[in-house]
Amino acid sequence: MSKAGGRPPRLPRPPPAHLGQAIARRLDQAIRNTGLSVRRVAAQAECTHPTIIRILDGLGLPDTQTLIRLEVVLGATLWPADLYGHFTPTPHPPTPAP
């Protein structure tokens, strides 16, 4: 679904907010699935538990190294690769040459 001119629809929140919320939801579910405490996950991922709390509370995005370590420790994909798929403009067929 794109607006006139092939532009994607406006997002109600800035893109980093969407990303942060998606990562926080996935992180929360992954921690619940493992049954580990936030402190245990932090220790295994070699980060601090306040870092994980900030991510869960939507107060910050993890850096790449932290994200990868959390994914490995939790055995879960936290990066939402499909997050903006519905905001991608639909390709238009090529315009015929005159």
Residue 5, in any domain of the structure: no
The pTM assigned to this predicted structure is 0.72
Q: Does 4 have pLDDT greater than 60?
A: no
Distance CA 84, CA 64 (A): 19
Pick from 3-7, 71-75, 77-81: least confident: 3-7
> What pLDDT, on the 0 to 100 scale, is given for residue 6?
55
CATH number at residue 24: 1.10.260.40
C-alpha 31/C-alpha 7 separation (Å) is 37
Report residue 26 as tokens: 């996935």
Q: Does the pLDDT of residue 11 top 80, yes or no?
A: no
Q: What is the mean pLDDT of residues 43-70?
A: 95
Residue 8 lies in a domain: no
Q: What is the pLDDT of residue 18?
A: 81
Residue 7 has pLDDT above 90, yes or no: no
Query: How many domains does the chain contain in total?
Result: 1
Inter-residue contact 30 to 74 (CB < 8 Å): yes
Residue 86 lies in a domain: no
In a domain, 97, yes or no: no
Q: Is residue 37 part of a domain?
A: yes
pLDDT score, position 19? 87
Residue 66 included in any domain: yes
Virtual torsion, Cα 39, 68, 85, 17, nearest 10 deg:
50
Average pLDDT, the chain: 83
C-beta separation of 49 from 42 below 8 A = yes
